Structures are given as C-alpha cells and as structure tokens.
Amino acid sequence: MSDPHASGRDSPNRWQALAFHLKTRLFQLRRGFAEFGRRPPAYDKARALMDAPVVAEKRAPLWREVSPEEFPLTAGKVENLRIAARAFYGLEIPPGGVMSFWRQLGRTTRHKGFHSGRELREGCIVPAIGGGLCQLSGLLYQAALDAGLEIIERHGHSRVVPGSQAEQDLDATVFWNYVDLRFRSRLPWRVETELTATELVVRIRAMSGSPQQETPVPLGFSKPRALPSGDCLTCGMTGCFRHPSAVKENAPALGHSAFLLDSRWPEFDRWCAEHSRPGDRWFTPMDGGKWRKPNYQWSAPVGIAVRHATLAALRRSWNQRRLPAQGARRQKVLIRGEAEIARTYARMLDPQCRHVVVSQNLLPHLWRLGVLGGRSFDVLIERWPMAELQRRLDQAKAAHPQSTTLGDFRADEDLLRAEREVLAAAGRLITPHLALAAHFGPRAWLIPWEMPAPMPRFAVAGKPSLLFPASRLGRKGAFELAAALKSGIDAELRFLGAADEGCSDPFVGLNCRRGKMSDLASASALVLPAWIEHQPRLALLALASGVPVIATEACGLPPHEMLHVIAAPDAAALATVIRSVLHPSLSTCVA
C-alpha cells in the first residue's frame, strides 16, 4: 500500500465523507424548500425548430488515452453522458422559459442506468454515480454563451484541472440539486445534445439570429483554487476507501466489442467469428440450438460471452404466427418486434463496450435509444435502406398500379430519418450483396456469399421447366415474368410460396403450378427478375448445382458462368434471355 503522506496530503476517511454527505443533504433540502411550487418546468421534445439555423455549436472529446486502471471510470462517464444527452436532445424552450439542468435531467441514480464516473469532490477526483456530467453542463454553458442566452445560474469548479475549460472560466459544475445551470432567452430556441463515436456535441438552434442581444455577467461563479496533488487514479493512495482499486466494477480493463445480432446469415456468422476476440460479447435473440431455431444458431467462438433476448424473441415469433403473409399490418408488427429486441440489447450493453457490430434491422431503433453514441460501430447490411427500398417499391408500383402489395406499407418519417442518420455515422457497411455494396460505394465491405453444397440434377422429358423461387408478388418480378412467358415461350412454370396479388394474380392463364424446392433439380433454369431481393439463397443453390439462373442486378448475385443478368425488371429483355437459355442453339446468350 502506498504511503498516504507521499503525495503531501492525508487520505480522506469515511467520517469526512459522511460529514460531506450530510452537508449536501442540508443544501438539497434548503433548495428544495426554497423552490417549492415555483421550479422551472421540465420541457418536452418538440419538432417546430428542427430546421432552424444553428446559432451555436460546441464539441468536446469523449475519450483520451487512458490506462487500464483509468478506463472503467472513463467508460462510466461516457455512459452517463449517453443517458443525459437523451434527456436534452430536441428540447424546445419558449420565449422567457428557464431551462434548468437538474429539472430536465432529474437525479442521477443506478435505477436510471447511471454508472460510476469521475466527480470532483472535496479536492479529489473520485468515483461517483453520474460522475462526468460536468462535461455536458460545461458544453451547454459555452454554447449558451455563444448563442447569447441569458445565464441565470452557473457555478465554476473549485479546482482547476490542467487543460480544462476551468482555466478559461468556461466550465460549469453541477451537483444535485442545489448547484444548477440555468438559462433563458427572449426568443424560442432548441437544444440538441448527442454523442458521436469520439465527441460530445451541443447545438442550439433559433429562428431569428441570436436569441439574446446581450449576455449578462454569469451568476454563481466562484474562483477556482489551485490544483491539489493527485486524484483517485494517480495520487497513489490505493488504501483510500474511494480508490477505484477497492471497487470490483472498476477492475482494470480496456473495453470490448459487442455483436448485436438478429437473423443469422452464414456470411455474417463467418465474418463475426473471424473478427471477434476473447472478451467480446455476442447478443442473439435466443439460443438457436436449444430452441431448435436454425435462424438464430450463431456460432460464437470460444472465449465469447453470449447473451440472449429470449422473451422479446418469443413474443416476436408468437406475433408473427398470427399475422397475414403480406400487408401493412404485418410490417408494422415486425418493426415493433425489432424495436423490442433492440431495447433488450440496449439494457444489456456494458458501459465498457467501445465498439459495436449490429444487424441492420436493429440499427435505427438502437440509434433512437442513444446507445450507439460514444461508440464506433459497423453494420451488417442485409437490405436496402428503408428510404431506398420505398423508392424502388414506388417505382414498381408506378409500373404496375394494379398491384395490391407494392404500396401496402411505408415506414414513418421519424424511422426513415433515424436510419439515414445512423447509416451516415456508421463505420464499415458489411454485405455479400453486390447491389447493396454498389449502393454504398467505398464505405461497403464486400464479403463473399456462402455457396451451398450442390444438389444432384436429373432431366425430365417433355417441356422445359422454369422455377420461380418466390411467391407470385410484384416485388419479385411476377408481372414481368408473366408478360415474358405470354410472349410465346413454351415452358412450364413452377413457383414457390402461397402469397399472391389477389385478384391481380399475374400468373392467371399460364401453364404453372405451385412447386417445391426439390423442383430445382429438374428445372431448366431458375428465373428471378426481382425488384427487391435481399437473400437469394435458392439462386445461389442453383448456381452451385449447375442450373442456369436468370436474375436482375437487384438480386446481388456473384459473377458466375451460369448467371444471366438483366439490368432491371423488363419483360422484353427477360423474354430474350429466357429463350437464349432454353434454346441456346437458336439465340445468342445474353450474360
């Protein structure tokens, strides 16, 4: 144990801590009674000033180079800032309204998710629940000064940390509830607080220039004292009851990665296993082996902790069974199920998680929860972004207005906005889908498709047969395929799936029947002229088995000698390629 006098000061004791605790309670009670019935209001989030000009923006780094001993408290500080930033983001304050830091945030407790972070207390920087929020209050204060807000209350730190904003009188300390930060304006204004992977950002918006023409002298300012020696991590007083080494949760660490996963793709399973390291954590909906759910049988490597959102996954599965095969109601329920999985994962994330790999369908929900702030993150891209998906469906609907499914669902604008923002903030966008990779350009990380084992083929006498590996839906190219076959192609068509376009069934009048996956073994070709196709598993099986595949670029298939690609769903182009594949001696093959 280090000598407590080696640093020139005495180690704090529990009696001093108790005296400090009692003193703060007296101050809290006094302020509570003094403001009883006349506290500033807590404001709700609003959208009226979302597009107002930014009149002030301040940024501060979240992380710095720290030792394993220092990292847990830094991670705790960042977690506290994540929670606090959500409480302030999107607040709109009316003219003359006073915004109070504590009235808006409330008391910091473990029950609300706050963790141990650094707090300046009695000349020491010590671990404390909610510690580190002064970084947010200080940045709010600086933004308020730049925006010209009237500072009603502000308190400076009692200690000047070298390199901090206190050296420039730009800090603002807070302590529930009697050391507060408050300001107001003669104009309506909006505050936005968020965490990027590396920075805390505070923005103030207002419609008409500066919200306040002149800034009064800040109140509650106290001159900081000189820097005393050491803090809890560097003073050497490891025998002190406050030292992080005495607290289990502050064991030395350097952070880990978390993989927030949903439905298993073999390509993503392989990639995640290759990029995991001991100490990382995988979150999956449920134990796929135990519950006999192959779709959730992720293969976590040895040394990886795996956690599940079993109850949320079971509720989602139950709700899916009660839904129709298509329709807006189904899509809304599926989105709600994804949001519940995301909320469960968010509660399980450890503050010491520095990097996240997340399935795309969970992404906008996690973004709205604020848990991706202060972390870098990569995305497993498994579909078009919702805005692009809807654009493509609208294009198909314009081509086939008789369709009953192409326009049956559109996501709400808030969800679309969240997905746009989070994809813009992401790091690597990982996908095996060629069309999706091309859409994202240089940010995409293209990984190979997992080619399945080939199935044996056998010939059947009679007419050539075509396999359509989807239901009779417009988004899968059913209208284009029907038009191509009706142009004089003599072939039997087999389709998979029971969903259809209702009274607008495009396959009426064709030589077709519902088939099964084993029909691929005898098919002359697999045809998939889809507008939307995210996971073309049967097309991959056909290529692996030597069956010709005719597909659109939207299917994202890898180059292959048996693959024939058309740029977009088009009946005439499709008919030409089908003829060339069925009768190669009569036509020139189009690849």
Q: Which pLDDT tens digit goes with each residue over 493-521?
A: 999 988 888 778 899 999 999 999 999 99
CA separation for the pair 10, 4 (Å, rounded): 6
| pLDDT computed for residue 121 by the predictor | 58
Given a contact cutoff of 8 angstroms between Cβ atoms, the answer to whether 171 and 120 are in contact is no
Strands 465-468 and 525-528: parallel
Tokens of 223: 């001159």
477/503: higher pLDDT: 477
Given a contact cutoff of 8 angstroms between Cβ atoms, the answer to whether 589 and 564 are in contact is yes
Q: What are the structural domains of the chain? A: 14-249 (no CATH), 256-446 (3.40.50), 465-582 (3.40.50.2000)
Tokens of 42: 């807590």
Given a contact cutoff of 8 angstroms between Cβ atoms, the answer to whether 141 and 154 are in contact is yes
User: Confidence band (pLDDT; 50, 70, 90) for 38?
Assistant: confident
The answer on pLDDT for 486 being more than 80 is yes
The answer on pLDDT for 587 being more than 70 is no
| pLDDT computed for residue 326 by the predictor | 67
User: Could you tell me which of 44, 69, 424 has the C-alpha nearest to residue 251?
Assistant: 69
| pLDDT computed for residue 436 by the predictor | 98
262-307, pLDDT tens digit by residue?
A: 999 999 999 999 999 999 999 999 998 888 899 999 999 998 999 9
Tokens of 260: 């927030």
Q: % helix / strand / coil in the chain, to the nearest 5? A: 35, 20, 45
200/25: higher pLDDT: 200
| pLDDT computed for residue 329 by the predictor | 81
CA 447, 448, 451 angle in degrees (round to 5)? Answer: 150
Tokens of 404: 């009953």
User: Confidence band (pLDDT; 50, 70, 90) for 22?
Assistant: confident
| pLDDT computed for residue 328 by the predictor | 77
Within 10 angstroms of residue 459's Cβ, the number of other Cβ atoms is 7
The answer on pLDDT for 549 being more than 60 is yes
Q: What is the DSSP string of 64-116?
A: ----TTTHHHHHHHHHHHHHHHHHHTTEEE-TTPPEEHHHHH----GGGT--E
Supply the mean pLDDT for the chain.
86
170/91: higher pLDDT: 91
| pLDDT computed for residue 168 by the predictor | 64
CA separation for the pair 297, 23 (Å, rounded): 55
Stated pTM of the model: 0.86
CA separation for the pair 137, 171 (Å, rounded): 8
Residues 6+ apart with CB under 8 A from 483: 506, 571, 575
| pLDDT computed for residue 169 by the predictor | 66
Residues 6+ apart with CB under 8 A from 374: 62, 63, 78, 79, 81, 82, 195, 196, 197, 200
CA separation for the pair 206, 224 (Å, rounded): 33
Average pLDDT for residues 124-143, to the nearest whole number? 87
Query: Percentage of residues in the chain with pLDDT exceeding 70?
Result: 84
Looking at the DSSP assignment, which residues form a beta bridge with residue 255? none
Average pLDDT for residues 34-47, to the nearest whole number? 87
Average pLDDT for residues 194-221, to the nearest whole number? 72
Helix (H) or strand (E) holding 391: helix 386-399
CA separation for the pair 352, 388 (Å, rounded): 35
**Strand boundaries in 462-552, DSSP class E:** 465-468, 492-495, 512-514, 525-528, 549-552
Q: What is the DSSP string of 201-249?
A: EEEEEESSS-S-SS-PPPSS--PPBPPPS--TTTS--TTSTTSGGGSGG
Strands 353-359 and 305-308: unpaired
3-state secondary structure of 375: coil
| pLDDT computed for residue 288 by the predictor | 87
223-277, pLDDT tens digit by residue?
A: 444 444 444 555 555 555 455 554 445 565 678 999 999 999 999 999 999 999 9
Distance, C-alpha 439 to centroid of its chain = 19
Given a contact cutoff of 8 angstroms between Cβ atoms, the answer to whether 86 and 194 are in contact is no
Helix (H) or strand (E) holding 424: helix 413-425
| pLDDT computed for residue 176 by the predictor | 87
| pLDDT computed for residue 222 by the predictor | 45
| pLDDT computed for residue 580 by the predictor | 95
